[in-house]
């Protein structure tokens, strides 16, 4: 017998479609979809890692590869993972510096989700003998009690070993 959770999926358009199309104009917040957080009263961390990230250097056109990891404490919304994957794929032929990409991903997720906290880590593979890691983070303005609780969850989360390592 199949059972169903309380997840609200009726407004999701990307999940379940079999085809991947190349986005026009590169990555955009419009490619991302969100669904309601069933537990907005509870601060918990969602971590998504995309280890096959690629983009292009805006000067040389050479590929930049790495891992983009998003960590966030949702407010009312959570990002739908397939739309996130397609959003990440949109960077494949996009020319931009790694620092810009990391900060733009943070801005797009903040625009879509309005999370209590969000951190984007861009861990880029060495190219030309140089390894670049970019961390961008943001906290939402919240009432003092909620802010203290969220910051404690973030502090605890940051002390955990990397959850995406086997």
| Residue whose tokens read 């104009």 | 25
**Residue from 64, 78, 108, 116 carrying the catalytic annotation:** 64
Angle 74-116-138 from CA coordinates, rounded to 5°: 120
Catalytic residue check, 57: yes
* Catalytic member of 7, 11, 57, 116: 57
Phi and psi angles of residue 8, each rounded to the nearest 5 degrees, phi first: -100, 110
Catalytic positions, written as ranges = 57, 64
């Amino acid at each position: 017998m199949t059972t169903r959770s309380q997840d609200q999926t009726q407004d999701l358009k990307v999940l379940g479609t079999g085809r991947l199309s190349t986005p026009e104009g590169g990555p955009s917040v419009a490619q991302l979809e969100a669904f309601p957080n069933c537990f907005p009263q509870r601060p918990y961390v969602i971590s998504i890692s995309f280890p096959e990230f690629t983009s292009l250097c805006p000067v040389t056109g050479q590929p930049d590869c790495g891992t983009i990891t998003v960590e966030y404490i949702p407010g009312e919304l959570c990002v739908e993972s397939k739309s996130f994957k397609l959003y990440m794929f949109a960077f494949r032929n996009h020319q931009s510096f790694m620092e810009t990409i990391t900060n733009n991903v943070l801005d797009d997720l903040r625009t879509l989700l309005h999370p209590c906290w969000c951190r984007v880590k861009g861990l880029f593979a060495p190219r030309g003998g140089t390894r670049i890691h970019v961390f961008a983070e943001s906290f939402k303005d919240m009432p003092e009690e909620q802010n203290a609780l969220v910051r404690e969850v973030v502090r605890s989360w940051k002390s955990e070993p990397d959850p995406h390592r086997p």
